[in-house]
């Protein structure tokens, strides 16, 4: 298909597969329910995003510490947190085609209905177009049921109720459960945060839209502990910091929307939530969330575990449960918006040039070294340049196909600088450095390359 006729999501999905960013999971067996694997370039991209986040929000601040907790926790954690009871989506099933749907995704006003109205809900026709062509059914959809999103598994060799555990549905709980250990070992003073990154699992009813909604995904989030009287101040502060991070990722201001979630529509633990939404090609939907979790979690864990989770003010000895502001950042949605923002097409000499204009810090390769020909006198010099640069920058080495095709390939994966080694290099000890965005070329002495690139790759 001509790339100009494809929609943006199709183009991104195709580029991700073609260039090794993201592949369909278990592809040789026909895939598995919208699961995706990160390939060699995707893994670098994702790692750069996670590392940058950690540098900015954890190492770069004096008021944040990290943890890395177990994926499977004592099931009492999920009972105390309310997830066993409340972490649900409303599910309906078509009695004819047996497809299942999330009610709030097929019936726009679902969240606005009162509980009594939900009980007498009039089912709309089945949204499956193949089902719709078969006339005369009644009634098409079942009444809604609460469907719990936690994945269950068994710990150890016996598969009975006593061995039942959950894969974590969010990172947050470990940061509450580990709160007293962190306090004792770090001597942090309020306000301070505990940060974490890692995989979470949710048995979503309808995963879809590439990596937007999957059943396992990576999160980066922190719980920021404050005095109750300060929560509004820090809520506003973190909303601004989240915006700054998104601009740093390359997101344009106009593509963002801030959605104040109304009473009755928030997660069970939240007293205020702002969803940061993004204009995806498939509609305006959630990218990140910011929640005021009050002392809901610490209070419940203190009650259910019987352990003291209070904080003691070092100056006046006052003991209390801190309140919590929680900024949460989906990693895979960050990857998706980074790709959408970076994707550009330009017409150059009758051809479409596709470029991923990633911010330099995010690009999987920073530099590509391209000898003009495969002749040994050039490749020996080019390999040596690449080996030297590799000590400081992530480099690709490519000597296949014409130089034009190799430039296009590097543009498509977002490499900021291409270094061409040509026959003049053997005489002048210099190379051509081409800038991805401007296509401008500079002739630089090999001995000055490292300084030149360091200056450019800020």
The interaxial angle of helices 331-342 and 8-19, nearest 10 deg, is: 100
How far apart are CB 211 and ligand GAP at their closest, in Å?
7
Residue selected from 219, 220, 381, 418 as contacting ligand GAP according to rule CB under 6 A = 219
Residue selected from 202, 323, 406, 434 as contacting ligand GAP according to rule CB under 6 A = 202
Q: Are 191 and 226 spatial neighbours (Cβ–Cβ below 8 Å)?
A: yes
The 152-181 site mask, x for binding ligand GAP (CB under 6 A), equals ------------------x-x---------
By beta carbon distance, the residue nearest ligand GAP is: 330
H or E segment and range at residue 104:
helix 103-106
Instruction: Quote the CA–CA distance of 285 and 292 in Å, as a whole number.
Output: 20
How far apart are CB 128 and ligand GAP at their closest, in Å?
21
Ranges assigned E (strand) in 334-427 = 343-348, 351-356, 367-371, 395-397, 417-421
How far apart are CB 240 and ligand GAP at their closest, in Å?
17
Per-residue exposure over 221-240, b if at least 16 CB sit within 10 Å of its own CB, e if not: bbbbbbbeeebeebbebbee
Using the contact rule CB under 6 A, the part of the chain among 4-12, 116-124, 217-225, 296-304 near ligand GAP is 217-225
Q: Are 245 and 353 spatial neighbours (Cβ–Cβ below 8 Å)?
A: no
* Residue 279 within binding range of ligand GAP, rule CB under 6 A: no
The 93-112 site mask, x for binding ligand GAP (CB under 6 A), equals --------------------
| Torsion from C-alpha of 99, 103, 104, 107, nearest 10 degrees | 100
Residue selected from 50, 168, 213, 366 as contacting ligand GAP according to rule CB under 6 A = 213
Residue selected from 148, 196, 328, 415 as contacting ligand GAP according to rule CB under 6 A = 328
Total residues found in the chain within this entry: 458
The 298-327 site mask, x for binding ligand GAP (CB under 6 A), equals ----------------------------x-
Instruction: Quote the CA–CA distance of 64 and 96 in Å, as a whole number.
Output: 53
Closer to ligand GAP at the Cβ: 196 or 410? 196
* Nearest CA among 163, 222, 169 for reference residue 192: 222
* Residue 196 within binding range of ligand GAP, rule CB under 6 A: no
Instruction: Quote the CA–CA distance of 247 and 227 in Å, as a whole number.
Output: 29
Residue selected from 44, 93, 221, 396 as contacting ligand GAP according to rule CB under 6 A = 221
* Residue 422 within binding range of ligand GAP, rule CB under 6 A: no
Query: Which DSSP string do the residues of 117-144 spell out, in sequence order?
Result: HHHT--PPPP--HHHHTS---SS-BPPP
Closer to ligand GAP at the Cβ: 82 or 125? 82
* Residue 217 within binding range of ligand GAP, rule CB under 6 A: yes
Query: Which DSSP string do the residues of 262-303 spell out, in sequence order?
Result: PTTTS-TT-SEEEEEEEEETTEEEEEEEEEEEETHHHHHHHH
Burial of 243 (C-beta count, 10 Å sphere; 0-12/13-18/19+): middle
How far apart are CB 215 and ligand GAP at their closest, in Å?
7
Collapsed DSSP state (helix, strand, coil) of residue 90: strand
Residue selected from 198, 289, 322, 371 as contacting ligand GAP according to rule CB under 6 A = 289
Collapsed DSSP state (helix, strand, coil) of residue 7: coil
How far apart are CB 287 and ligand GAP at their closest, in Å?
6
Using the contact rule CB under 6 A, the part of the chain among 99-107, 124-132, 215-223, 238-246 near ligand GAP is 215-223
Using the contact rule CB under 6 A, the part of the chain among 37-45, 48-56, 329-337, 405-413 near ligand GAP is 329-337
Using the contact rule CB under 6 A, the part of the chain among 176-184, 210-218, 395-403, 440-448 near ligand GAP is 210-218
Q: Are 168 and 200 spatial neighbours (Cβ–Cβ below 8 Å)?
A: yes
* Residue 294 within binding range of ligand GAP, rule CB under 6 A: no
Cis peptide before 32 (omega within 30 of 0): no
Q: Are 342 and 15 spatial neighbours (Cβ–Cβ below 8 Å)?
A: no
Closer to ligand GAP at the Cβ: 223 or 411? 223
How far apart are CB 169 and ligand GAP at their closest, in Å?
7
Distances (CA, A) of 315 to 190, 220, 261, 308, 311: 12, 33, 37, 20, 12
* Residue 436 within binding range of ligand GAP, rule CB under 6 A: no
How far apart are CB 374 and ligand GAP at their closest, in Å?
43
Give how many residues touch ligand GAP by CB under 6 A: 18
End-to-end CA distance of the chain: 38
Using the contact rule CB under 6 A, the part of the chain among 287-295, 388-396, 410-418, 435-443 near ligand GAP is 287-295
* Residue 214 within binding range of ligand GAP, rule CB under 6 A: yes
Closer to ligand GAP at the Cβ: 170 or 295? 170
Q: Are 284 and 261 spatial neighbours (Cβ–Cβ below 8 Å)?
A: no
In the complex, the residues that contact ligand GAP under the rule CB under 6 A are 170, 172, 202, 204, 213-214, 217, 219, 221, 286-289, 326, 328, 330, 332-333
């Amino acid at each position: 298909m001509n790339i100009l006729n494809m929609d943006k999501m199709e183009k991104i999905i195709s580029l991700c597969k073609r260039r090794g960013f993201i592949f369909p999971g278990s592809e040789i067996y026909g895939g598995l329910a919208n699961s995706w694997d990160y390939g060699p370039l995707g893994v670098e991209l994702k790692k750069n995003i996670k590392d940058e986040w950690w540098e900015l929000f954890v190492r770069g601040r004096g008021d944040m510490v990290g943890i890395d907790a177990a994926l499977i926790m004592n099931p009492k954690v999920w009972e105390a947190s309310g997830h066993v009871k409340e972490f649900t989506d409303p599910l309906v099933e078509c009695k004819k085609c047996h497809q299942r749907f999330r009610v709030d995704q097929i019936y726009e006003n679902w969240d606005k209905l009162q509980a009594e109205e939900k009980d007498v809900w009039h089912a709309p026709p089945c949204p499956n177009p193949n089902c719709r062509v078969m006339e005369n059914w009644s009634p098409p959809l079942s009444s809604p049921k609460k469907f719990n999103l936690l994945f269950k598994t068994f710990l150890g060799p016996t598969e009975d109720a006593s061995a039942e555990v959950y894969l974590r549905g969010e990172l947050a709980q470990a940061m509450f459960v580990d709160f007293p250990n962190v306090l004792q070992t770090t001597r942090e003073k309020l306000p301070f945060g505990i940060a974490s990154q890692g995989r979470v699992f949710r048995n979503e009813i309808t995963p879809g839209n590439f990596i937007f909604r999957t059943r396992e995904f990576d999160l980066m989030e922190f719980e920021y502990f404050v005095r109750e009287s300060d929560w509004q101040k820090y809520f506003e502060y973190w909303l601004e910091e989240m915006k700054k991070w998104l601009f740093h990722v390359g997101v344009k201001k106009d593509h963002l929307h801030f959605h104040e979630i109304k009473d009755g529509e928030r997660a069970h633990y939240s007293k205020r939530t702002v969803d940061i939404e993004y204009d995806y090609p498939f509609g305006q939907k959630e990218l990140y969330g910011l929640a005021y979790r009050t002392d809901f979690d610490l209070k419940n864990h203190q009650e259910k575990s019987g352990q003291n989770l209070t904080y003691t003010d070092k100056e006046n000895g006052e003991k209390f449960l801190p309140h919590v502001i929680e900024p949460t950042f989906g990693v895979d949605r960050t990857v998706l918006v980074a790709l959408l923002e970076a994707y550009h097409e330009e017409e150059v000499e009758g051809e479409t040039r596709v470029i991923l204009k990633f911010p330099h810090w995010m690009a999987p390769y920073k530099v590509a070294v391209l000898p003009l020909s495969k002749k040994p006198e050039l490749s020996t010099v080019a390999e040596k340049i690449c080996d030297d640069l590799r000590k400081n920058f992530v480099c690709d080495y490519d000597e296949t196909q014409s130089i034009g095709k190799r430039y296009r390939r590097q543009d498509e994966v977002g490499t900021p600088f291409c270094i061409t080694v040509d026959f003049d290099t053997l005489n002048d000890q210099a190379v051509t450095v081409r800038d991805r965005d401007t296509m401008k070329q500079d002739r630089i002495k090999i001995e000055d390359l490292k300084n030149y690139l360091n200056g450019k790759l800020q």
